[in-house]
Structure 1
Amino acid sequence: MKCRLIILWAMSFFVNAEQIVVASDIWCPYICTDNSGYVVELTQQAFASVDIEVKFESLPFQRALTLTSQHKLDAVLAVTAEHISTFSLSSNHVPIGQYTNDFYTPVNSNWQYSSLKSLDSKLIATILGYDYGESLNRYLENHNSHVRTSGEAPLKTNLYLATKNRIDLLIGNRYVIDYTAKQYGYSSDIRFAGSENKSTALYVGFSNDDKGHSYASLFAQGIENLKQSGEYQAILDRYQIAF
């Protein structure tokens, strides 16, 4: 009888729990498939601590940004301050990670990043909708040899292009590139070629309406709950993330 009551209570919680719908593209170990990834887990657990259930949807990043700005999604994960401004999103500016611009080439290349000038004449692969910082964004806008990929697994596409020597280099985050390359068996076909050595904070961007403002506030409260309980650091440690 006691077991039955517990099951009924659990069913009642999930039926009646408020649900927030968040989205982003796959960017493991930040955002992975099957509701995993440290940003996904932080978001889920933070909202769970204030009795809100999170439904995560995998979407191309540009589409997730657009739908959130149109109030068709509640939030988009792993955005920068530039995204928040450009798409008029709501945010509490609680950082959930950081991003660096790192450079990778095909394994047979000896090119090394030294400055923006060193990118001249190189065919560069990036991802549509990503923010690479003011300086690099401006450079890429005026760079003719530039491939922008999209879809639900754009980094996989860029890695494939590098392994086939169809691009000179790709730009991304070292955590993500190393993880994804290992996942798809590309690790031995690419090489790390330096970093811009600038860190950009990442946030959760919420729709800019009353509901979004409320969720932003509740998320800040939830993150504080996780920090006080120790679960925040436990999630970071599970994914070997430090920031």
Structure 2
Amino acid sequence: MLKYLFILLSVFSIHAHAAPIRIASDIWCPYACDTNTGYVVELTRRAFEIQNQPVEFMIAPFKRVMLELQRNNVDAVIGLSKKAIGNYQLLSNDVIVGYKSNDFYTLVDSTESFEQISDLNNTQQVAVVTGYQYGKELDTWLNSHPSTYFASGNDPIAMNIIRLIKGRHSVIIDNKNVIEYTASQLNLNQQLRYAGTIGKPVPLYIGFNPQNKAYVSAFDRGIQMLKANGEYKQIMDKYKILPEVTSADARYKNLQKFLPIFD
């Protein structure tokens, strides 16, 4: 009885907030998309709504998102590493919402490959997203080379892909899921080539404003409720839908690169 009483009191404490919880992200499809969709957006929204907590989402460039959080205009940010959460002095739980990786893409006719930092010394220009962290060693290389292009704005991944196609730079770096998903939406995926990954995948979490500690446990509780009632699987299945291909086996194989890894 004490256990259930504690859960009820926790739920009531989050309901005491009259205003919706304000959650923000930049565009990082299929995790967070410009139409307030994306599997992490939908999972986060439903995790709170299932507890009768309304949610508002804001899509903005990463730097602005973090600035608004520091101004207490945002309660939570989607898809942060533990390092970023620590740097911004935020709160989080152990719910992994995806993985970040440093994946390299070139034009399809390129022969470049990237397995270590020194491989970048022979490329013409690298494009990344401003405000993102790519790991200490890679960040040092990017910031020490004036030719590095740092994309900003509301849809920097799409910008980097388009600039790559136009020959403005020779390689782009970001998460493989995001690059391939965005390229497919632009109908440019056939012009891109995966050229390697440097480093290990880094787990991503939701970073919460420390002024709203109740939201941290509420999110964890909401995710467990979604898994129990089947909504979690429904949302994940929704984002596995891609255009039909000729073979069921080929379809299954193609889908794997879009799926997150969850504990």
Interval containing the TM-score (normalised by the shorter chain): 0.7 to 0.9
Q: Is the 8 A contact 2:151 2:159 kept in 1?
A: yes
Distance 1:121 1:208 in 2: 44
Distance 1:141 1:236 in 2: 36
The TM-score normalised by the length of structure 1 is 0.87
Tell me the matched-pair count.
226
Q: Residue 226 of structure 1 corresponds to which residue in structure 2?
A: 226
Q: Is the 8 A contact 1:91 1:213 kept in 2?
A: no
Which of the numbers 183, 202, 205 marks the counterpart of 2:204? 202
Structure 1 unmatched ranges of 5 or more = 1-15
What is the letter of the counterpart of residue 218 of structure 1? Answer: A
Cα deviation code 1:177-234 (max 9, x no counterpart): 111111112223221111225111111111121xx21111211111111122222233
Cα deviation code 1:135-168 (max 9, x no counterpart): 3223323233211111110011101110011111
What is the letter of the counterpart of residue 32 of structure 1? Answer: C
What is the deviation of 1:18? 4.7
Q: Is the 8 A contact 2:114 2:195 kept in 1?
A: yes
Q: Residue 164 of structure 1 corresponds to which residue in structure 2?
A: 166
What is the letter of the counterpart of residue 236 of structure 2? Answer: L
Amino-acid identity (%): 38
Distance 1:57 1:131 in 2: 21
What is the deviation of 1:131? 2.0
Moved more, 232-241 or 175-184: 232-241
Distance 2:168 2:73 in 1: 37
Q: Residue 40 of structure 2 corresponds to which residue in structure 1?
A: 39
The TM-score normalised by the length of structure 2 is 0.81
Moved more, 229-238 or 55-64: 229-238
Runs of 4+ deviating beyond 4 Å? none
Provide the alpha-carbon RMSD of the alignment. Answer: 1.7
Q: Is the 8 A contact 1:158 1:170 kept in 2?
A: yes
Distance 1:114 1:48 in 2: 43
Q: Is the 8 A contact 2:106 2:170 kept in 1?
A: yes
SS of 2:92 mapped into structure 1: coil
Distance 1:242 1:106 in 2: 25
What is the letter of the counterpart of residue 177 of structure 2? Answer: Y
Q: Residue 119 of structure 2 corresponds to which residue in structure 1?
A: 118
Distance 2:87 2:23 in 1: 19
Moved more, 154-163 or 196-205: 196-205
